[in-house]
């Protein structure tokens, strides 16, 4: 029994730990005939990488990805595409003091109780390092979606801690360390993050993601709904705590007369549904928000237990993200792209429509 894969016709399997020799993925079911280069994948990987600003972890991984199968003379062959990245800057000794202890709020507590093994080096599979391969696979899916459907999955920072981003100008979001789509709030974010880092604490974030040019008809009732698969993909990202589709939890206080998206001359007048009705894409933009929790690896002392059941005070050293949500922007784009591509292939199988 293994659950390191997702997707039905486009199947992604990831492997590797944060401090192991390498991480990798296998992309099975990717159609033949698409040109792809290492540089194209690397461009996406760099967007997610640590160490690009003082506001993220200072671990410096080169993320030099190798394509080891499924691509011949720069073109996908229809065979499984395997990608590998060496870990070159892991510092396992940072974790030696907590090798028998559990960080409150961290997966190391549940991994130990489930598997009885404490791989204390970094977060192992629960580390943000695992998301590297999602972005590598996502680079191929994004390219395929753009080529064949002009579909674009784009994410941005919607909220960081108490700072709500109040204007969205997507042209701006790649020009700052926060993927913030409002240039007038960058200074506020810088100050917020500097104070946070100084205090030794961490904070959560809300990442918005949209997909444009999604055709009507993706998603299979009732156990293969598009929104269910998107929610599952987003929840599988380490540190996700919530997913909203369209109006999400705001739907609770909306009246039906407000929530329903009226249609005039074939055009929807609003998009509270987030582009999905009955689990099937409506042809509107797919709109999703993902909540990321504050990182639990803190230098601030916390009460916890060790694996022998003793009360301990945990202090985590090492290089950590004060807000891991910032780097989640390319990750949620990739997960949305991978789910959409899988569903396009599924729609073709079920309804004969590409």
Instruction: State the residues that interact with ligand EPS by CB under 6 A.
Output: 18-19, 50, 57, 59, 61, 90, 122-123, 127-129, 132, 297, 318-320
CB neighbour burial string for 301-322, b if at least 16 within 10 angstroms, e if fewer:
ebebebbeeeebebebebbbbb
Q: Are 193 and 187 in contact (CB under 8 A)?
A: no
Cβ distance to ligand EPS smaller for residue 47 or 129: 129
Q: Are 186 and 243 in contact (CB under 8 A)?
A: no
Q: Are 336 and 156 in contact (CB under 8 A)?
A: no
Shortest separation between residue 343's beta carbon and ligand EPS, angstroms: 27
Shortest separation between residue 53's beta carbon and ligand EPS, angstroms: 13
Cβ distance to ligand EPS smaller for residue 31 or 318: 318
Shortest separation between residue 96's beta carbon and ligand EPS, angstroms: 12
Shortest separation between residue 148's beta carbon and ligand EPS, angstroms: 30
Cβ distance to ligand EPS smaller for residue 50 or 154: 50
Helix ranges, the chain (H): 38-48, 108-115, 131-149, 186-199, 226-235, 256-259, 328-351
Q: Cα angle at 240 between 38 and 318, to 5 degrees?
A: 70
Cβ distance to ligand EPS smaller for residue 214 or 239: 239
Q: Are 271 and 254 in contact (CB under 8 A)?
A: no
* DSSP, res 190: H
Shortest separation between residue 19's beta carbon and ligand EPS, angstroms: 6
Shortest separation between residue 23's beta carbon and ligand EPS, angstroms: 9
Shortest separation between residue 296's beta carbon and ligand EPS, angstroms: 8
Distance in angstroms (rounded) separating the CA atoms of residues 27 and 103: 33
Cβ distance to ligand EPS smaller for residue 127 or 284: 127
Backbone angles phi, psi at 76, to 5 degrees: -65, 140
Beta carbons within 8 Å of 114's beta carbon, 6+ residues apart = none
Cβ distance to ligand EPS smaller for residue 58 or 159: 58
Q: Which of 342, 320, 326, 123 is nearest to 238 (CA)?
A: 123
Cβ distance to ligand EPS smaller for residue 122 or 275: 122
Shortest separation between residue 41's beta carbon and ligand EPS, angstroms: 15
Residue number of the CB atom closest to ligand EPS: 122
Q: CA–CA distance from 189 to each of 154, 234, 244 (Å)?
A: 21, 25, 24
Cβ distance to ligand EPS smaller for residue 50 or 185: 50
CB neighbour burial string for 257-270, b if at least 16 within 10 angstroms, e if fewer:
eebebeeeeeebee
């Amino acid at each position: 029994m293994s659950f390191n894969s997702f997707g039905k016709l486009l199947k992604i399997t990831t492997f590797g730990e944060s401090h192991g020799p390498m991480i990798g993925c296998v992309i099975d079911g990717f159609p033949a005939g698409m040109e792809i280069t290492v540089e194209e994948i690397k461009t996406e990987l760099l967007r997610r990488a640590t160490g690009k600003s003082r506001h993220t972890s200072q671990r410096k991984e080169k993320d030099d990805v190798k394509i080891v199968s499924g691509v011949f003379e720069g073109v996908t062959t229809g065979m499984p595409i395997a990608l590998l990245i060496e870990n070159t800057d892991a510092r396992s000794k940072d974790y030696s003091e907590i090798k028998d202890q559990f960080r409150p709020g961290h997966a190391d507590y549940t991994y130990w109780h489930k598997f009885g093994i404490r791989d204390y080096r970094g977060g192992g599979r629960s580390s943000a390092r695992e998301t590297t391969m999602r972005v590598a696979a996502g680079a191929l899916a994004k390219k395929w979606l753009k080529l064949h459907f002009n579909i674009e999955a784009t994410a941005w920072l919607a909220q960081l801690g108490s700072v709500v981003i109040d204007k969205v100008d997507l042209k701006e979001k790649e020009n700052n360390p926060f993927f913030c789509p409002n240039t007038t709030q960058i200074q506020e974010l810088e100050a917020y993050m500097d104070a946070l880092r100084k205090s030794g604490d961490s904070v959560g974030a809300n990442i918005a993601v949209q997909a444009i040019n999604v055709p009507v008809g993706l998603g299979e009732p009732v156990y293969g709904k598009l929104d269910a698969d998107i929610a599952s993909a987003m929840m599988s990202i380490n540190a996700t705590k919530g997913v909203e589709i369209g109006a999400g939890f705001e739907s609770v206080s909306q009246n039906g007369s407000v929530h329903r998206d009226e249609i005039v001359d074939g055009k929807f007048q609003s998009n509270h549904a987030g582009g999905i009705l009955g689990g099937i894409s409506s042809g509107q933009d797919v709109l999703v928000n993902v909540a990321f929790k504050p990182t639990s690896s803190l230098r601030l002392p916390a009460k916890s237990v060790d694996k022998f059941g003793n009360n301990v005070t945990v202090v985590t050293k090492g290089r950590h993200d004060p807000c891991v949500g910032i780097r989640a922007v390319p990750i949620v784009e990739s997960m949305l792209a991978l789910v959409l591509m899988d569903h396009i292939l599924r729609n073709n199988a079920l309804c004969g429509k590409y």
